[in-house]
Structure 1
Amino acid sequence: MYPKVRFRGFDESWRTEKLKNIGESFSGLSGKKSSDFGHGEAKYITYLNILNNPIIDTKLTDKIEIDNKQHLVKKGDIFFTISSETPQEVGLSSVLDTNLNECYLNSFSFGYRLKEISMFDNLFNSYNFRSPNFRRKMYILAQGISRYNISKKAVLNETICFPKISEQKQIGKLIKLMNSLLSLQQRKLELENKLKKQIAFYLYSFTLTPNFKHIEVKNKKLGDIVDISNGIMGDSQKKSGNFKLTRIETISNGKIDLSRTGYIDQVSDEKKFLEVGDILYSNINSLTHIGKNAIVKEKHLPLVHGINLFRLHITNNQITPNYLHGLLNLPKYKWWVKSHANPAVNQASINKTELSSLVIKYPDLDIQNQINNINYSVAQYWDIQYSKKESLCQLKQFLLQNLFI
């Protein structure tokens, strides 16, 4: 058998073996009470450590007393989760890449030890057992309704494919490099997001440049400059009738989420159609996310909006959509909305009357446009960096699907 993508110089067929033929399983901790955990001279590898890491993070172990009846783990061991609330998390694996003194395995996982450890590279194993091909086998083995479990015996009956160790090492190094690049890009995005928020704070405080100091600002209630209207109810799944109109349901990352929409057959009042420059404002959500908003752009039309969103239609020429969009995303206005929202167990809501009373500050159109231009440049740069991250994710997924069998 051969993978779809290979390094040059490797042309041998990959070896296929049942796990039970090349290794043996062992159990995690047994016979323990809750009072036995959290103290002691020994340690154990936790369930979450396996769940979240292809390679065990040795800093994330918990304490337990030394017990000679338990199995000690060692370098090269592969651990599998046995139980989870979702089938996607059952049979997830993690490899131990270093020796640990007096260390055991948690009771919700089982260990697997290869007989000929010199034939395998730990990095390769960590990705091979999490590759899409092997994960599909685990999904099939997951059994349950409210909670899913996997049989250790069934896992050992599954096959794994692997090349000679020199090719394993090349594959392991490449995927590790991809992960490092992704981590660096994610960190860069986090830092740039903080910078973007800080720039927005100074811009809307009119303190970023000397030209913005001592400018005249107007204070008005939101209801005096925009018309706030409710959304339209309809069948979120229906796509029937002569006129199929997309109904926007959610806002994601400051943009209209076209991946999650509803449908209605017709609209009796043309005023219900969204216009370019309208702002869709989330009126029902968790307290953390209530108030998300996005601008309707020409490429989105024709659209209407659902009942979880308000439509903010600017009724005068004193403020631009882009400026209002940026203003409503400032922390102080987010906090205002949270404090005036009606809290509930799973979500909060704000009504039109409350939102209309929100007092906002804005300068003349010339200053607004200067701020809009700066925000546009910052947003463009951030979008470029986000696209780089998405490209790296797609490349990694391609490699995981094609470098392994």
Structure 2
Amino acid sequence: MKDNQAKYPQLRFKGFTDPWDQRKLGKMGYTFTGLSGKTKEDFGHGNAKFVTYMNVFSSPVSNSEIVENVEVDSKQHQVEYGDVFFTTSSETPQEVGMSSVWLETAENIYLNSFCFGYHPMVEFDPYYLAFMLRSPVIRKKFMLLAQGISRYNISKNKVMEMLVPVPEIVEQQKIGSFFKQLDDTITLHQRKLAKLKELKQGYLQKLFPKNGSKFPQLRFAGFADDWEQRKLSDIATLNARIGWQNLRTSEFLESGDYMLITGTNFHDGTVDYSTVHYVEKNRYEQDTKIQVENGSILITKDGTLGKVALVQGLNMPATLNAGVFNVKIKDPETIDVDYVYQYLAAPFLMKYANAKSTGGTIKHLNQNILIDFPVLLPRKREQVKLAELLNGLDNTITLHQRKLEKLQELKKGYLQKMFC
């Protein structure tokens, strides 16, 4: 009964009911090796190309542009349309045997020496093959083949013994086309997201004065006043939990009335309240200076330095653990908190933090360094306009990020259910 169930995927297109064959890869094609007999001097020039390891590792369908130069060599095996490439080793068993299908017809294209190739001798829809080999059911089989301790390897002979699902070609084409369209949509959203992030970086370069200037390169109409430079400590208070008050992990609670925020709880400028821990009331009340409220700006001081978040939507008392500064604007009437957040979240602080940090492997951003961080300030009305523009971009970026994540989760679910 169990073997019979394994021949039917959980989710299918309408009109397909036949069981899927389970066939060995080695019975349907042959393997070939990547580049051999080469030295370092042979690469980086020549009229031939080779498909890189990262090209194979990164995507179920190889990118024809991610190739590198090598001299033409008749002794090497030229790859063909529909060939499958497999990585032979990795640092983890989860990443060994990653596959990618080549869908180009150009000549003098070889495979890198850290992968092996597979040429199907039976009819496969190439996109079906690409996504089937990346499906969870097949990836689990590759992980079981991984051998090693510090680095894991697979035997191509063992891979050729692997059983894979082979439906009729018409069903393969339906499945392959479906995943290709889904991947194309994901790629489109990735490009939109990358362009939005580039747009914001461009604005950050032009909306703030550079190299001691008092005027930015790009400005809203109606603003002409000089900008002034102030120290962060002039416009805000900075506080962090001192050593003797540091909390032990045993004091972290899974629920409670007093939230504990750490640097691991925020990313992309926001605090993820679903990941926080809680503390007892006495720990919350221990230091009022690190009690967090809406409008607080948080900056990491240890490990990943200069990571910034603006506290919003907080609906309960909250405090900080070690490793995070609590920054509060002194005079909200003249200084806009959203502007200061955007300025601190820009690359200026990260560059400053990395240059001024102390410590060996684990870096620290001391308070006596951060208080001198220079903040460029226009008048309040211009601060608000700048913050509105950058906040709007952030909201659009977040929206596209969420759409992309939903599509990636959707793909993950389909890969789980559409192969057996």
Match for residue 283 of structure 1?
Answer: 301
Distance 1:196 1:40 in 2: 39
Corresponding residue for residue 141 of structure 2: 137
Residue identity in the other structure for 1:192: L
Match of 1:323 in 2: 339
Partner of 2:263: 249
SS in 1 for 2:222: helix
Within a 5 Å distance, the mapping from 1:203-352 to structure 2 comes to 208-214=219-225, 219-231=229-241, 233-236=246-249, 239=252, 245-250=259-264, 251-258=266-273, 267=283, 269-271=286-288, 272-285=290-303, 290-299=305-314, 301-317=316-332, 318-339=334-355, 341-342=356-357, 346=361, 348-352=363-367
For 1:360 and 1:43, locate their aligned partners in 2 and report how far apart those are by CA, in whole Å: 49
Alignment counterpart, residue 183 of structure 2, candidates 169, 179, 183 = 179
- Confirm whether residue 393 of structure 1 aligns to residue 403 of structure 2: no
Whole-angstrom CA distance in 2 between matches of 1:48 and 1:219: 45
Structure 1 vs Structure 2 CA RMSD: 3.2
Could you give the per-residue CA deviations for residues 298-353 of structure 1, whole angstroms, max 9, x where no partner exists? 436433323322111233333232221112234445444444x1365655433211
Change in 2 beyond 3 A, CA 1:308/1:31: same
Q: CA deviation at 1:126?
A: 1.1
Taking a change above 3 Å as real, the CA distance of residues 239 and 349 of structure 1, as seen in their structure-2 partners, is closer
**Structure 1, residues 155-210: CA drift from partner, whole Å, max 9, x if none?**
22221112211221222222222222222222212222233344456666675333
2-side partners of 1:9 and 1:103: how far apart?
40
In the alignment, what sits opposite 2:125?
A: 121
Whole-angstrom CA distance in 2 between matches of 1:172 and 1:307: 50
How far did residue 91 of structure 1 move? Answer: 0.5
Task: Indicate conservation of the 8 Å contact 2:35/2:113, yes or no.
Answer: yes
Determine the C-alpha separation between the residues in 1 that align with 2:161 and 2:371: 64
Q: Tell me which amino acid in the other structure corresponds to 1:138.
A: F
Q: How many residues align?
A: 397
For the 8 Å contact 2:254–2:277, the answer to whether it is kept is no
Amino acid at match of 1:149: N
Alpha-carbon deviation of 1:49?
A: 2.7
Gap runs ≥5 in structure 1: none
Q: Which residue of 1 aligns with 2:195?
A: 191
C-alpha separation in 1, matches of 2:335 and 2:111: 61
8 Å CA contact retained: 1:238, 1:262: no
TM-score with structure 1 setting the length: 0.84
Q: Which amino acid aligns with 1:234?
A: L
- Conserved 8 A contact 1:234-1:263: no
1:32 Cα shift? 4.5
Instruction: Name the CA shift for 1:143/1:345 in 2 (closer, same or farther; >3 Å).
Output: farther
Match of 1:165 among 169, 174, 178: 169
- Looking at structure 1, the residues matched to 197 and 45 of structure 2 have their Cα atoms a distance apart, in angstroms, of 40
Aligned ranges 1:100-111 → 2 under 5 Å: 100-111=106-117
Give structure 2 stretches of 5+ with no counterpart.
1-6, 209-214
Per-residue CA shift, 1:103-142, capped at 9, x if unaligned?
44333222223232xx211121111111122112112221
SS at the partner of 1:24? strand
Query: How far is the alpha carbon of 1:294 from its aligned partner?
Result: 0.9
Q: Quick one: distance in 2 between partners of 1:400 and 1:314?
A: 49
Change (3 A) 1:153 1:302: farther
Alignment correspondent of 2:70: 63
CA contact (8 A) 2:259 2:276 kept: no
* Aligned AA (1:165): I
Counterpart secondary structure, 2:314: helix
The one-letter code matched in structure 2 to 1:228 is L
Corresponding letter in the other structure for 2:16: F
**What amino acid does structure 1 have at the position aligned with 2:371?**
S
Determine the structure 1 residue equivalent to 2:157.
153
Structure-2 residue corresponding to 1:84: 90
Q: Deviations over 1:278-308 (max 9, x none)?
A: 111122346xxx3221112243643332332
Tell me the secondary structure at the aligned position of residue 220 of structure 1: strand
Structure 2 CA distance for partners of 1:66 and 1:332, relative to 1, 3 Å: closer
Q: Is the 8 A contact 1:236 1:261 kept in 2?
A: no
Say whether residues 1:377 and 2:392 are aligned partners: yes
Q: Is the 8 A contact 2:12 2:418 kept in 1?
A: yes
Structure 2 CA distance for partners of 1:36 and 1:178, relative to 1, 3 Å? same
Shift of 1:363: 4.6
Q: In the alignment, which residue of structure 2 is the partner of 1:97? A: 103
Contact 2:299 2:308 in 1 (8 A): yes
SS of the equivalent of 2:219 reads coil
1:237 touches 1:262 (CA, 8 Å); kept in 2? no
Q: What CA distance in whole angstroms lies between the structure 1 residues aligned with 2:12 and 2:297?
A: 49
Report the residue type matching 1:226 in the other structure. A
Checking the alignment, whether the CA contact within 8 Å between 1:234 and 1:262 is kept in structure 2 is: no
| Residue identity in the other structure for 1:404 | F
* CA shift for structure 1 position 403: 2.3
- Corresponding residue for residue 14 of structure 1: 20
